[in-house]
Amino acid sequence: MLCEAKALVRESGMKDEEFSEVGRMLRKYLLRALGGIPVLILFSSVAFAQLRESALRGQITDPSGAAIPAATVTLTDSNGATKQVQTNEQGQYVFQSLPAGTYTERVEAKGFVDFEKPGVVLEPGKPQIVDAQLQVAMEKQEVTVNDTTTRLSLSPENNASAVVVKGKDLEAFSDDPEDLQAELQALAGPAAGPNGGQIYIDGFTGGQLPPKSDILEVRANQNPFSAEYDKLGYGRIEITTRPGSSKFHGALFADGSDSTFNSRNPFVANQPPYHMGYAEASVGGPLGKKASFFLYGFRRDMQNTSIVNAIVLDPTLAQVPFRQAKLEPQNRTYLGPRGDFQLSSNNVMSVGYQFWQQSKYNLGIGEFALPSQGYNTRRTEHVIEVSDTQMISLRTVNQTKFQYKYGTEDDTSGTSLPAVVVLGAFSGGGNSLGRNLDTQNNYELQNLTSIAFGKHALVFGGRLRDGNETNNATKGYNGTFTFAGTSTLTAIAQYQAAQQTLQACAGQTPCQTSASQFSITAGNPIAKLNLLDLGLYAEDQWRARPNFSLSLGLRFETQNYIQDRADFAPRVGLAWGLGGGRNPRTVLRAGVGVFYDRFQAAEVLQAERLNGSNEQAFVVFSPCFFPNIPPVSALRTLTCGRAAPTRYQIDRALRAPYTIQEAVGVEQQIAPHITASVTYVNSHGVHQLLTRNINTPVPGTFDPTDPTSGLRPFGDAGNIFQYESDGLFNQNQIITNFNMRMGRKVSVFGYYTLSFADSNTGGPNSFPMNPYDLRADYGRAAFDIRHRLFVGGSFGLPYGFNLSPLAIANSGAPFNIILGQ
């Protein structure tokens, strides 16, 4: 199916309508093929169910690197059950159909010292490789490598700059899902460019973060130049959730806080009470002899307060401070059952469902925004995930994943009155958000095949995503009056003068009062899209020598809605060990790769909606009709002020943004329990997105005192906002990591990053100061945070207590202040 899609998208002349038709056909076939899965799960017997499984393989060698045949490899799980195999003539061994979990591996061979490694973690559907180099036995002895010992490795997946958090280390992170997400993003560190890092949950993107109790392991910045992933490796977060187990277990947890125990806000005399309540529960265990399930759920209720600190006019039209606290209730519910099933001895299937709902009230209030600006939002999401893993042979594993996600969002403003924005003083009236109803149906299909042969590990596969969105939004339909001040008046003084004029008119007509600007949107509020993107990749991890590994990968990406339909992203990574054979004390690691960003649905919707025919936005400079709004049809014939229509479009020459990233670093084994690394990362962003008004007056023809003046390239067509890919950024980072694990009771990890970033764009919805010359905009980027520090860990204390500190610090980001004067 992926090959057929690849052939179709390579037709350079394919139109968006044809591309969308391909998506509908693929979606139809996917649903038809997967329609029988629920029936299969419901009616299959317990004999067709088993724990979610993985595999373990590796090679046993002597100190010279020669293979050791007939060595006995024993694997013991957490329950004491053992499995045993012997190595072949090449010294290789394979365990297949292993339940996910933590194991202890022991290797025995005549004439060699026994080797033992506890803490081998097997993840669902991800084969693990554990090589061992045995020492010649001079006398009866045993070498044990504790699971808490930190060793350097040449494997691309085991770079020392990566951070792995599991077990007790997870206790340092917050139980609150929103705080947890922020902490995990801080754990991964800064991703290059304006888009930040990417979170993958069980291999899928864009889902809701699971609760901490549902997380088995978190990996950040692992194998940063892998061709399997579309996003930048530095800043990438991979979360693996817990599978079922062979024993029943459950947990209950509750947490809460109240304003009684907290200090009051000094800016508010009477602050309403606020509180937070959180409760979670989980249960899991076997379903017969070879099946497992896991069920998790939580509920959080929170009542925050928003503080308004503005300047308004009292009934006598005098300027007075306005301070008020407004309740901001919100709640979140999550439910996530899943089961693990085996369809045959080498075919394992996992099925999961997630329900997520969040409601928030009185948003948009605070600082200058008055209570009338409040709006409510309600979001609901249903997710079905199916994963099928097949052990085709001892060296070949194939995994197929499918996700269907249905989501809705309903945002509602409290009033439909026109919005009034007085810069530097207050924002009142109704919220310009209006009513926003959004429905999404997203499909994602992945396939991955891994083949191990000799010194090579080949991985290839692809991902197809199909997103359907229907959006009904009346944003801006209520109109917005903006008071920005004049050369002689501040914004609040200008608004005060307008109110005094209205009061003097005493209801007489006509009564003309002026604002700086009036904007309104009108037309058909409904917009639809069908966004398709496809990614194919192949990668070879080659262990060229015992102390040298090379990873070569290539990724192909394409999408609709832009003319750029063929994007190739090569990736290269290498590791060179200095001293220590397979376990070197120093590793030099380097890599280079190209990473593409997709043109997102939000910009497509904006261009589809405000295309000039479906919906149109108008901007009137110096309107004289405040606070009344004339019919939209009359805006072009105003006797005072001039209406400039606004529309959006996508540049036909727009290219997919991409980043060229190079990294070089050194990793050092300081002690058996301590590793450290220093990495230099250079990133160059090309074809970065921005919005340009292509109907801006030609330089030298515009009079700043007359907003309607100037010679425009497209005449009286108004503002034509075009999404373009003419931006760029340059970023340099130095990342220092450390990892210390001393026994089972002490674990400390963290990093420090020094970063410098410059850019001429702030993202797809940013405008250059001079549309005819972007050079003036090049300077410190909005994401240029100079210093970042993250430290976490776990310390075992007497009597079963555990101390889990977490410290996050960073310097400020550049920002702009717009003054209404």
How far apart are alpha carbons 444 and 191 in whole angstroms? 24
Provide the domain limits for residue 135.
52-147
Lowest mean pLDDT among 42-56, 327-341, 413-427, 644-658: 42-56
User: Are residues 56 and 142 part of one domain?
Assistant: yes
Which whole number is the average pLDDT over 327-343?
A: 89
Number of residues assigned to the chain: 821
Burial of 698 (0-12, 13-18, 19+ CB in 10 A): exposed
How far apart are alpha carbons 781 and 756 in whole angstroms? 9
CB 295 within 8 A of CB 337: yes
pLDDT tens track for 454-486: 888 899 999 999 999 999 999 999 999 999 998
pLDDT reported for residue 236:
87
User: Are residues 228 and 185 part of one domain?
Assistant: yes
Check whether 571 has a pLDDT greater than 90.
Answer: yes
Which whole number is the average pLDDT over 790-813?
A: 88
Q: Which two tokens stand for residue 461?
A: 């596969």
Q: Pairing state of beta strands 526-545 and 142-144?
A: unpaired
pLDDT reported for residue 102:
84
**Omega within 30 of 0 (cis) for the link into 243:** no
Give DSSP secondary structure letters for 72-111.
EEEEE-TTS-EEEEE--TTSEEEEEEEESEEEEEEEE-TT
Check whether 202 has a pLDDT greater than 90.
Answer: no
Question: What's 68's domain CATH number?
Answer: 2.60.40.10
Q: Which of 342, 339, 244 lies closest to 284, judged by CA?
A: 244
pLDDT reported for residue 268:
66
CB 427 within 8 A of CB 375: no
Q: Does the CA dihedral 761-762-764-766 come out positive or negative? A: negative
Check whether 420 has a pLDDT greater than 80.
Answer: yes
Q: At what angle do helices 2-9 and 16-34 cross, to 10 degrees?
A: 180
**135 falls within a domain:** yes
**350 falls within a domain:** no
User: Comparing 653 with 195, which gets the higher pLDDT?
Assistant: 653
User: Are residues 206 and 120 part of one domain?
Assistant: no
Indicate the pLDDT class of residue 9, thresholds 50, 70 and 90. very low
User: Are residues 168 and 139 part of one domain?
Assistant: no
Check whether 140 has a pLDDT greater than 70.
Answer: no
**102 falls within a domain:** yes
User: Are residues 203 and 119 part of one domain?
Assistant: no
**Overall pTM > 0.85:** no
Which whole number is the average pLDDT over 283-300?
A: 84
User: Are residues 106 and 81 part of one domain?
Assistant: yes
State which H helix or E strand residue 491 sits in: helix 491-505
Q: How many CB atoms lie within 10 A of CB 633?
A: 8
User: Comparing 630 with 10, which gets the higher pLDDT?
Assistant: 630
pLDDT reported for residue 29:
44
- At a CB cut-off of 8 Å and minimum separation 6, what does 808 contact? 183, 186, 789, 790
How far apart are alpha carbons 781 and 232 in whole angstroms? 18
The last residue of one of the domains, among 210, 241, 272, is 241
Which whole number is the average pLDDT over 161-190?
A: 81
Q: How many CB atoms lie within 10 A of CB 507?
A: 7
User: Are residues 73 and 133 part of one domain?
Assistant: yes
pLDDT reported for residue 137:
57
Q: Which two tokens stand for residue 113?
A: 């010292």
Percentage of the residues of the chain whose pLDDT score is greater than 70: 88
Total domains present in the chain:
2
User: Are residues 134 and 66 part of one domain?
Assistant: yes
Which whole number is the average pLDDT over 348-376?
A: 93
Lowest mean pLDDT among 219-233, 249-263, 409-423: 249-263
Most confident of 355-359, 671-675, 794-798: 355-359
User: Are residues 188 and 134 part of one domain?
Assistant: no
Q: Which two tokens stand for residue 428?
A: 């009142």
State which H helix or E strand residue 359 sits in: strand 347-363
pLDDT reported for residue 557:
97
pLDDT reported for residue 193:
78
**558 falls within a domain:** no
Q: What are phi and psi of 611, to 5 degrees?
A: -95, 5
Average pLDDT taken over every residue of the chain: 84
- At a CB cut-off of 8 Å and minimum separation 6, what does 592 contact? 225, 571, 572, 660, 661, 662, 663
pLDDT reported for residue 20:
52
How far apart are alpha carbons 479 and 489 in whole angstroms? 24
pLDDT reported for residue 214:
81
**116 falls within a domain:** yes
Check whether 629 has a pLDDT greater than 80.
Answer: yes
Which whole number is the average pLDDT over 83-112?
A: 83
pLDDT reported for residue 507:
62
Check whether 40 has a pLDDT greater than 60.
Answer: no
**520 falls within a domain:** no
Check whether 36 has a pLDDT greater than 80.
Answer: no
pLDDT reported for residue 814:
86
pLDDT reported for residue 308:
92
**111 falls within a domain:** yes
Indicate the pLDDT class of residue 135, thresholds 50, 70 and 90. confident
Which whole number is the average pLDDT over 167-178?
A: 80
- At a CB cut-off of 8 Å and minimum separation 6, what does 622 contact? 514, 515, 516, 517, 640, 641, 707
Q: Which of 740, 471, 489 lies closest to 604, judged by CA?
A: 471
Which whole number is the average pLDDT over 386-402?
A: 87
The last residue of one of the domains, among 216, 241, 266, is 241
Question: What 8-state DSSP symbol labels residue 367?
Answer: B
Q: Which of 187, 286, 195 lies closest to 237, judged by CA?
A: 187
pLDDT reported for residue 616:
87
Which whole number is the average pLDDT over 800-809?
A: 88
Most confident of 232-236, 344-348, 432-436, 745-749: 432-436
User: Are residues 113 and 70 part of one domain?
Assistant: yes
- At a CB cut-off of 8 Å and minimum separation 6, what does 773 contact? none
Lowest mean pLDDT among 77-86, 532-541, 552-561: 77-86
The last residue of one of the domains, among 241, 269, 299, is 241
User: Are residues 137 and 69 part of one domain?
Assistant: yes
Which whole number is the average pLDDT over 48-62?
A: 68
pLDDT tens track for 114-128: 888 887 888 776 778
pLDDT tens track for 773-788: 999 899 999 899 999 9
Q: Which of 211, 275, 155 lies closest to 584, judged by CA?
A: 155
pLDDT reported for residue 183:
85
pLDDT reported for residue 53:
65
User: Are residues 192 and 126 part of one domain?
Assistant: no
pLDDT reported for residue 150:
63
pLDDT reported for residue 491:
93
**183 falls within a domain:** yes
pLDDT reported for residue 34:
44
